Every structure is written in C-alpha cells, then in structure tokens.
C-alpha cells in the first residue's frame, strides 16, 4: 500500500500525578521520579509531503525557528532515516505554553509519528523514543502516552495499567513558568513535599483512585514561584476535587474528580477567573495517526 500524502496526528498533553526530585545525576541533571498521565487535551497536527520543511502554528505565539521542537523532530527524522525530502506541518495548538503539560513535547512526538506514517519509514517505538529523547526529556512519554512511572530525566519509562476512571479540571494561570528557572529555585530552596510515587504506582495497579490521590504531590510546587497556585487549588478543592496540585514545573494546576458534575462545576467556577480552563479525561494512548476527520478534543471549559 502506498504511503499517504497527508496525515493527521493527535498528540495528548500530560499531567504529573506525582513528581519528586530524588537526587542529582552524574551529568548534573535532576534525578526525577514521577507518575505521568496523558489526557484528552490534544495538539492536532496535519503533515503533508513537500519539497521543503515548513512549520506553521496558526494563532500561536510560539516561535517557529531552529529551537522549536517540531522543527527539531523533523530534522532528527530526516537525519536518522537519510530521506531526502521535506514536509509541510500545520499544528493547531490547544495545550497551554509554559504550563508543565508538555505541549512542545507533544508537538515533537506528533511530528515523529506523522512522518513515520507519511514516508512509510516503519521505525519502531524504541527508535522513535530514542529520537524523541534527543529532542526533549518528555518526548518519549508523549510518544508512549497512557499512564507511566517515569524516572531519571524522563528517559526511563514503565508503562502502567490505565488510570482509574476520573475527570481532570486544569486551569492555566495568567503567567507561565520557565522549567530551568523552576529547577534553579528548587536547588536554592528545596521542598517540604516528596510524594509517594511507588505508592501511587501501586494505586494505579489496584485501580484505587482514592489511594492514587492520597499519594499525589509535586516537589516543585513549593518553589515554583507561581503566585496563583493556591487560589486555583482552593477553587478546585471547594468544588469537590479529591486532590489538586501543580503539574510538572508549572504553571498549570489541576484537580482530580470522581464525579463529572463536580468537575463541570469546578470548571465553571474557574472560568470566572481564568481564560484557559479545560475539562479532560485520561487518555490511554500517545501521539497517533487518525483519520482525516474532525475529532472531539477536551473542552476549553
């Protein structure tokens, strides 16, 4: 069967159900222990065969230059495969920027998956993850998706059973956070919070949402510098969240709900204060090619 001339890819955002800093690696990077969850908030990418490499992000202020993760992914794919070709990429961004939700990593994963299909390269998931790791620490998870225990700098992934059924309400504050600056503040300040990632992994395996929430936490939240986090968490908790916390290095904050009506009420309450509020579910996959037809995405509540 000939390779297609156009492919559409959905690439999910992620949330950190837990994030701990457990040490420093020999290369100077922070040694992390995390449970990551893909959610039904997606970047949508359309890739077309072309003689040139072009990337467009309509409506987004993210620069499209050599530092852009989508550009890096396309160049890495061509270098690895040796293909003398180009690609035209249009990315409809839905994931907030500087949010700790791996939107840039989702873009890179979507490009790798899409180009693999577009040019019939038949790269394995292991090959795609190795390419992804050269672009960014969260790209391998963006490729794998689902629920994973993630360690090291994000390069050690252990797939877990699906997350217990729940709803996520995510709010993006008015100001984002720089990941390098967040870790610099952690080095200066430390953190009183160190979540039980092993306990949370077991809760996922047991299908125990209450235990999963009890083990949640983020060691970077204390030192994030995000002034709006307490207010967002207060609204989520007041509307019935089982737990609430910052994701990644911030600045997005989310709550976990076992009741859809409470989740919708929390989203409505947050909408009165914040422009970017999302209601989502766990996503069992990572970046994947889909038919070129409209697809439901998470609601910008």
pLDDT band with cut points at 50, 70 and 90 for residue 295: very low
**Residue 291: pLDDT band with limits 50, 70, 90:** confident
User: Which one is predicted more confidently, 194 or 2?
Assistant: 194
- For the segment 59-97, what is each residue's pLDDT rounded down to a tens digit? 999 999 999 999 999 999 999 999 999 999 999 999 999
How many Cβ atoms sit within 10 Å of the Cβ of residue 213? Answer: 22
User: What token pair was written down for 37?
Assistant: 């969850």
- pTM of the full predicted structure? 0.94
Residue-wise pLDDT tens digits, 221-236: 998 888 999 999 999 9
14 is catalytic: yes
pLDDT for 2 equals 67
Angle CA 195–201–206, to nearest 5: 125
Q: Characterize the bridge pairing of strands 253-257 and 276-280.
A: unpaired
Please state the rounded mean pLDDT for residues 235-249.
98
Identified catalytic residue from 33, 138, 155, 283: 138
Q: Is 138 a catalytic residue?
A: yes
Tens of pLDDT, residue by residue over 152-191, are 998 899 999 999 999 999 999 999 988 888 899 999 998 9
**Which backbone phi and psi does 241 adopt, to 5 degrees?**
-65, 140
């Amino acid at each position: 069967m000939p390779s297609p001339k156009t492919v559409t890819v959905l690439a999910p955002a992620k949330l950190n159900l837990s994030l701990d800093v457990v040490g420093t690696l020999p290369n100077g990077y922070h040694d992390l222990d995390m449970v990551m969850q893909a959610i039904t908030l997606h970047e949508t990418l359309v890739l077309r065969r072309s003689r040139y490499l072009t990337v467009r992000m309509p409506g987004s202020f993210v620069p499209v230059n050599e530092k852009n993760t989508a550009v890096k992914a396309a160049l890495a794919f061509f270098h690895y495969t040796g293909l003398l070709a180009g690609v035209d990429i249009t990315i409809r961004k839905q994931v907030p920027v500087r949010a700790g939700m791996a939107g840039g990593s989702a873009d890179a994963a979507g490009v790798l998956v899409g180009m693999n299909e577009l040019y019939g390269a038949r790269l394995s998931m292991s090959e795609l993850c190795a390419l992804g790791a050269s672009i960014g620490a969260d790209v391998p998870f963006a490729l794998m998706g689902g629920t994973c225990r993630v360690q090291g700098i994000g390069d050690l992934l252990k797939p877990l059973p699906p997350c217990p059924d729940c709803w996520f309400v995510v709010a993006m504050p008015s100001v984002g956070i720089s990941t390098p600056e967040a870790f610099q503040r952690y080095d200066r300040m430390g953190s009183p919070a160190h979540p039980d990632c092993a306990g949370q992994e077991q809760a996922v395996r047991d299908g125990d949402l209450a235990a999963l929430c009890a083990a949640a936490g983020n060691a970077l939240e204390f030192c994030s510098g995000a002034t709006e986090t307490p207010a967002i968490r207060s609204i989520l908790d007041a509307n019935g969240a089982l737990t609430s916390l910052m994701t990644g290095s911030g600045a997005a904050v989310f709550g976990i709900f076992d009741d859809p009506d409470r989740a919708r009420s929390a989203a409505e309450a947050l909408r009165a204060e914040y422009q970017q509020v999302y209601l989502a579910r766990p996503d069992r996959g990572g970046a994947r090619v889909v038919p070129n037809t409209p697809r439901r995405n998470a609601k910008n509540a």
